[in-house]
Amino acid sequence: ERRGPGGRGDRVGIDIAYTLLHRLGAFSIFVFAVLETPVLKLRDGLGAWGIPSFEVDAALGLAYAPLIGALVYLVILDFVDYWIHRAQHRWNWWWALHAIHHSQRRMTLWTDNRNHLLDDLIRDAILAIVALLIGVAPAQFVGIVVFTRIWQSLQHANCGIPFPAFISRTLVSPAFHRLHHAVSIGHEGPQRGVNFAVLFPVWDMVFRTADWSADRKLARHEPLEATGILDQEQGVDYGQGFFSQQWIGLRNMMRALFLRNPAG
């Protein structure tokens, strides 16, 4: 990674701390476990009122093919995650939390792990509720979380090697996701950014948010855009340590919710 195109910037120590704290997958699995009983009771209650549940593997005849079912669930949850990511950038109060993730100005394997705890909690709760409602088994959910975490860490790596097109068009590559973190690109424009996909870039292709310019630059051995948030270049601080980042995220969220001009 030291030889990659990411440049120099923040220390990665704080991001390693985030990883050890809650981003090895245990946080998402814990949220799933906490929500499992109430969501399943809700699903049963809806059934008693004549509202049928929709378990995808049963509907597709995959009840006895759990691995294939897990792959189907992976695609469905990634589609949901794409729209969660769009909302994180679209809604100012949510962006105030998600901006902590984008404040890292040096892309590394650890960058994916710098997240506001409330941002992660909201995202994980939505994914867990959807997973439980459509019939994802606990073992399948664990497998999905582990695979997603591993690939998300890889796509944040400071990698200067372009991926073959058949791979980068199938799974989000470091170059593709790096552009999502680029200054003046990753959160700006009419769609509040580009390259929102978490695993499968097909969602960006379908909804016209894909930008492959970073892949082309790597192929031509050209330098890539700097990463971070535009207002950081104007002196806005998102915190240097865990507690300061968590506090600043909450403060900015409250300002976005209750003040018309939440600058500062």
Question: Would 264 be classed as within a structural domain?
Answer: no
Owning domain of residue 32 = 13-258
Rounded to whole angstroms, the Cα distance separating 180 from 211 reads 9
Quote the pLDDT of residue 121. Answer: 95
Question: Would 5 be classed as within a structural domain?
Answer: no
Count structural domains, the chain: 1
List per-block mean pLDDT (blocks of 10 residues) for the chain, which spans 264 residues: 48 58 74 95 85 80 85 97 97 96 81 82 97 94 92 83 86 93 86 94 97 88 87 85 92 91 49
Quote the pLDDT of residue 18. Answer: 61
Question: Would 208 be classed as within a structural domain?
Answer: yes
Quote the pLDDT of residue 9. Answer: 47
The CA dihedral of 89, 262, 245, 21, to the nearest 10 degrees, is: -50
Question: Would 143 be classed as within a structural domain?
Answer: yes
What's 162's DSSP letter?
A: P
CB 31 within 8 Å of CB 128: yes
Quote the pLDDT of residue 61. Answer: 83
Question: Would 6 be classed as within a structural domain?
Answer: no
Quote the pLDDT of residue 198. Answer: 96
Q: Is the pTM of this model over 0.85?
A: yes
Rounded to whole angstroms, the Cα distance separating 45 from 58 reads 19
Question: Would 7 be classed as within a structural domain?
Answer: no
Question: Would 93 be classed as within a structural domain?
Answer: yes
Question: Would 166 be classed as within a structural domain?
Answer: yes
Picking from 103, 153, 97, 152, the residue whose alpha carbon sits closest to that of residue 122 is 97
Rounded to whole angstroms, the Cα distance separating 229 from 218 reads 22
Rounded to whole angstroms, the Cα distance separating 40 from 211 reads 40
Quote the pLDDT of residue 222. Answer: 86
The CA dihedral of 9, 13, 16, 18, to the nearest 10 degrees, is: -90
